[in-house]
Amino acid sequence: MIKSFDSVYKELEYLFIQKLPEYIEKINKEYNDGIILKSFVNTKLTEECIKIPCFKFELLETEYSEKDRIIENTVYNFSLRIKTDNQNKMVDFWRYTEAISYLLEENGKKSNTIEFRIDKITNDKIIFRIVL
């Protein structure tokens, strides 16, 4: 039975909207080199990306293979596309990625129901995998 994405969505929205700014601030303090990352302007996980910096959330697919049915897992793949207007777009992207990685490392360990990790990184997009 495929598990509901509703609880996953709520937890992701909390992490990326409420908690991520703390990790962005940590990255700014860690590097302290004049490049300042701004917090994303998103107020919801799925809102349209109009102002910058922002991210675009997209659910890519849900996997429910034979193996997953046996062990009662549901696997979700989603992406975040990061948009900035800074001239250091590549540096910004990798620093945002680092902040997100720290966020997932620290908060993923606290979750009893969700296992999530960065699965792949391409250009301006981070692909995540969540196993319920």
pLDDT score of 1 more than 50: no
- The total number of structural domains in the chain stands at 1
Tell me the average pLDDT across 72-97.
89
Residue 21 lies in a domain: yes
Residue 50 lies in a domain: yes
Domain containing 83 equals 6-131
pLDDT tens, position by position, 15-69: 999 999 999 999 999 999 999 999 999 999 998 888 999 999 998 887 766 655 5
Q: For the chain, give the percent of residues with pLDDT over 90.
A: 52
Q: How far apart are CA 30 and CA 115, in angstroms?
A: 27
Structure tokens at 104: 């997932």
pTM of the model: 0.86
Query: pLDDT value at position 109?
Result: 54
